[in-house]
Amino acid sequence: MLLLMRVVRLLALCAVALGCPTIVSRSQWEARVPRNRDPLGTPVPYVIIHHTAGNHCTSQVSCSREVRGIQSYHMDKNGWSDIGYNFLIGEDDRVYEGRGWSTMGAHAKNWNNKSLGISFLGSFSKTAPDNTTLTVAKSLIQCAVSRGFLSESYTLKGHRDVTSTQCPGDALYEAISQWPEFEA
């Protein structure tokens, strides 16, 4: 099992080196149909990083289950039209499509119409995601730039930089604050 996990991680790094990371589509994680969609005018100038503050996941099966649970919470408890984030990243080194590239998210009030919301699956207050998972996030961001969904001169922020919250957790916040595009 450990060897298989290493091979999967190596394949993920190869995919990242060659372009966009592996993106698990909504149909692959068995998303519900959104109630409506508001278009996102792209390219947007910001990326906002979140964490879900929930369970960690290390396989497509467990991460898909987590994403479905988040979608249900956002739709059923918050009354939102869909999952709030544009993309979510699991510690299986896959990206899970939330609202996607061109649909406005519901992840950061007053910032949704000018940002992509990327959330790491899990709680990252004490420990940051490992370097491979962080590299997947960087690759997703570069993919957004290369596909014209994110401005080449974008600014990266943590959720706590735009609203009063502890999100994306102290350890993850410390990690992203070292990225060159970061601005508190």
Per-residue burial over 90-104, b if 16 or more Cβ lie within 10 Å, else e, is bbbbbbbbbbbbebb
Domain that holds residue 155: 2-31+41-176
Residue 88 included in any domain: yes
Rounded to two decimals, what is the model's pTM?
Answer: 0.90
Note the pLDDT of residue 1. 55
pLDDT 10s digits, 122-156: 999 999 999 999 999 999 999 999 999 999 999 99
Residue 36 included in any domain: no
d(CA 170, CA 130): 14
pLDDT 10s digits, 44-76: 999 999 999 999 999 999 999 999 999 999 999
Mean per-residue pLDDT for 110-120? 98
CATH number at residue 119: 3.40.80.10
According to DSSP, the β-strands at 44-51 and 150-158 are parallel
Q: How many folded domains does the chain comprise?
A: 1
Residue 163 included in any domain: yes
d(CA 101, CA 99): 7
Cβ partners under 8 Å of residue 17, min gap 6: none
Residue 184 included in any domain: no
pLDDT 10s digits, 79-106: 999 999 999 999 999 999 999 999 999 9
